Amino acid sequence: MKKILITRRLLRENEDKASKKFKVELNLNDELYTQSKLIELSNGCDGILASLTDKMDAQTINKLPNTIKIISNFAVGFGNIDLEAAKKKGIAVTNTPDVLTDATAEIGVLLILGACRRASEGIENARSANWKWSADYLIGKQLTGTRLGILGMGRIGQKIAEITKSLGMIIHYHNRSKLSEDKEKGAIYHDSIKSLFSVSDVLSICCPATKETQNLINKKSLEYFPKGAVITNVARGDIVDDDALIDALDRRKIYAIGLDVYKGEPNLNPGYLKFKQAFILPHLGSATKDTRLAMANLAIDNIVEFFDTGSCKNKIN
């Protein structure tokens, strides 16, 4: 039986399933392992079921025992893993696409609504009974007829497009390549971020965090947006240069933000906290029971498939 290190607690049903398939090293206290602890606990293991909170950089991967053949990430995003370093060491990396598309798109839409309709201010005022209705009280941006730019039109981007289109938004997108018409469903393709950002009254960041997308939202690219645009991020914090975005909020170049993900989670740049127009959530993208169960099942199945067949359809390196 293969031995697998499971770095964080999973839901009970998932841990039971994993225990039937493998000899498992569980993290019963759900401790956030340091990199040296991850390396130490990997000894004697054949694979690691990792979480997005585990920083698997090149240094860590290079020190893993040679018995480790797979890192199965319990997430669709893989910004926490150096794919190249893993490949060089002969370690397959897999992720959990599809099963979290709907849940994550729901949070993507919530970010758009929350930021545009001033939900943070509204919640704060309602809780403290510190408000009085008036014709101009907490006036926000209506989505109907507003242009939504989607950066990264993969599964989650397409689902956000479908939902927001039904709310009357006009969908534009940028992707590495143009989608076929049946996937585009009327969305307008832009072959550069400059072109996309210049028509984005609201932006939804849905692309993966890679070396190419790191700090794609920066001082220069923020100037491409129409004045008073809204920026939302349901993907990864690494895509945003926080200081540049905070400066753009200060200058009112950017009207509001909706964020579910941050650089250096669970921390976020404290500069965001001074803005009432910051609608912020603690990385809730996939946080529904059905989705978390399905993600962990898939992360387990990826390991089974890999050891049974020597490869896996969800291998990403």
Record the tokens describing residue 66, joined without a space: 């040679």
Q: Which stretch binds ligand DGY (CB under 6 A): 74-82, 114-122, 141-149, 183-191?
A: 74-82
**Stretch near ligand DGY under the rule CB under 6 A, chosen from 70-78, 85-93, 197-205, 301-309:** 70-78
Decide if residue 100 touches ligand DGY (CB under 6 A). Answer: yes
Q: How many residues bind ligand DGY (CB under 6 A)?
A: 8
Nearer to ligand DGY (CB atom), residue 5 or residue 103: 103
Cα dihedral value 142, 146, 151, 157, nearest 10: 70
Range 257-316, binding ligand DGY (CB under 6 A): 283, 285-286
Annotated active-site positions, please? 236, 265, 283
CA distances from 254 to 77, 179, 200, 249, 289 (A): 26, 29, 11, 5, 34
Considering beta carbons, is residue 14 or 277 the nearer one to ligand DGY?
Answer: 14
Those residues with Cβ within 8 angstroms of residue 114's Cβ, 6 or more apart along the chain or in another chain: 120, 258, 279
Read off φ and ψ for residue 82, nearest 5 degrees. Answer: -80, 100
Return the structure tokens found at 148. 């939504």
Tell me how crowded residue 78 is: count the other CB atoms within 10 A of its CB.
24
Min dist CB 113 to ligand DGY, Å, is 19
List the one residue from 56, 76, 115, 280 that touches ligand DGY (CB under 6 A).
Answer: 76
- Minimum Å distance from CB 75 to ligand DGY? 3
Where on the chain is the footprint of ligand DGY (CB under 6 A)? 52, 75-77, 100, 283, 285-286
